Amino acid sequence: MTVGTAVAYRVFTRTWWARNPAWPNGREPGPGRKHTLARNCTFEEARAKCAHYNSTHTPGPLSRKAEFEQQ
């Protein structure tokens, strides 16, 4: 983490589908709860953390992926 930057980012994971047996494929669109991985990252650090997480974890049927947002 680089100290003193004006903009900080939060890195988190979440799913993009919810289980629903009533739907044909057993799931429906819907973003899940955000689970924080890191805080106070620079833009470059946040992108690197997301890229690393997404390349080392399979998204699975609910499409769990890492993202980031400005704090």
The structure tokens 């390349």 sit at 55
Can you give the pLDDT at residue 26?
95
The yes-or-no verdict on residue 5 having pLDDT over 60 is no
% of the chain with per-residue pLDDT over 70:
93
3-class state of residue 27 by DSSP: strand
Per-residue pLDDT, 65: 98
Looking at residue 18, what is its pLDDT? 96
Cβ contact 19:26 at 8 Å: yes
- Check residue 2 and give its pLDDT: 61
For residue 6, what pLDDT is reported?
82
Taking residues 15-27, what's their average pLDDT?
95
Q: Spell out a b/e string for 43-57, using b for 16 or more CB atoms within 10 Å of the CB, else e.
A: eebbeebbeebeeee
